Amino acid sequence: MTGAPRSGRLSAAGTAPTRPDPDLDHVRWHDLECGGYRADLRLWRTLADEQAARHADGPVRVLDLGSGTGRVSLDLAARGHRVLGVDVDPVFCAELRRRAAIRSLPAAAAVSDARELRLGERFGLVVAPMQTIQLLDGPTGRAAFLAGVRDHLTPEGVAAVAIVEDVEPFGADEAAHLAPDMKDHGGTVYASRPVGVTVADGRIVLDRVREIVSPTGERHETSDRTVLDVLDADGLEDEGRAAGLRVLPTREVTATGEHVGSRVVMFGV
């Protein structure tokens, strides 16, 4: 999940701080804000194992939509499944490939908008973790996404699409009590702190402040915004039917102390 463009500011000394590779920053922010989430991995593993058990030719071919740097793709590949991650961001896809190569895992990555899938193959399992479908700018984008899912499923394949239904808005006062997510990379500290969530006009808007502190104490602060469509399971199931998909029983990802839970809407063909 990517947010709004970043905008820098001057350091306390009045000069622009020395910046590292922006692509490296991009990967590190994604890993900090998304990569540590593990509550859903058990479900994707279960679904992949279930589908593999239905096929005599071994591990299932998995399509991971909105794969980022490979949080889910690499986990499933480590269990022997052959995974293709798809993300609109070429930097994330390159990082997924790099990490798969280092570990000799059967995971690849393709750059594509999830609304414009033309992959030339079908998959026994399609997963869309972490509210990927809610980043597609409304019903028209979701319809294109669901049509692509339909066209890339094998006859016995299943698709699992995670959504967040209930989000509690909060403002600056509540955000002031939240600890930032932080990571030290060789003395350079990355810190990401949510500063507010609003729900209005069919959109969920999450605002964050990001700060990089160099080993010399230089600070670089930016803002980030993620916008999700408001969506519930019943509505998504109706959209899936309209796209020619068969609705299957939903699954759940339980909430944790740090993350909201997800409904996982399931489809077949």
User: Residue 204 above 90 pLDDT?
Assistant: yes
Q: Is residue 14 part of a domain?
A: no
Average pLDDT, the chain: 90
pLDDT digits (tens, 9 = 90+) for 107-161: 999 999 999 999 999 999 999 999 999 999 999 999 999 999 999 999 999 999 9
User: Residue 269 above 60 pLDDT?
Assistant: yes
Q: What is the mean pLDDT of residues 246-253?
A: 97
Q: Is residue 80 part of a domain?
A: yes
Q: Is residue 69 part of a domain?
A: yes
From 248, 252, 266, 255, select the one nearest 43 (Cα to Cα).
Answer: 252
pLDDT bracket for residue 54 (50, 70, 90): confident
> 98 with 208, same domain?
no
> 173 with 196, same domain?
yes
User: Residue 19 above 60 pLDDT?
Assistant: no
- Which of the two residues, 229 and 55, has the higher pLDDT score? 229
> Residue 262 belongs to a domain with what CATH number?
3.40.50.150
- Which of the two residues, 128 and 172, has the higher pLDDT score? 128
In this predicted structure, what is the pLDDT of residue 2? 34
Q: Is residue 223 part of a domain?
A: yes
> 142 with 236, same domain?
yes
In this predicted structure, what is the pLDDT of residue 168? 84
| Count of structural domains, the chain | 2
Residues ≥6 apart with Cβ < 8 Å to 256: 39
> 119 with 172, same domain?
no
Q: Is residue 3 part of a domain?
A: no
Q: Is residue 123 part of a domain?
A: yes
> 76 with 156, same domain?
yes
From 136, 135, 165, 153, select the one nearest 265 (Cα to Cα).
Answer: 165
Structure tokens at 199: 């729900």
> 240 with 205, same domain?
no
> 172 with 159, same domain?
no
pLDDT bracket for residue 52 (50, 70, 90): very high
In this predicted structure, what is the pLDDT of residue 185? 94
> 81 with 127, same domain?
yes
Percent of the chain with pLDDT over 90: 80
> Residue 215 belongs to a domain with what CATH number?
2.20.25
> 134 with 97, same domain?
yes
In this predicted structure, what is the pLDDT of residue 215? 94
> 197 with 247, same domain?
no
Q: Is residue 104 part of a domain?
A: yes
Containing domain of residue 244, as a range?
41-165+231-268
> 197 with 243, same domain?
no
User: Residue 86 above 90 pLDDT?
Assistant: yes
- Alpha helices by DSSP H, 117-232: 139-152, 172-175
> 136 with 172, same domain?
no
In this predicted structure, what is the pLDDT of residue 3? 33
Stated pTM of the model:
0.88
Write phi, then psi, for 119 (nearest 5 degrees). Answer: -95, -15
How many residues comprise the chain? Answer: 269
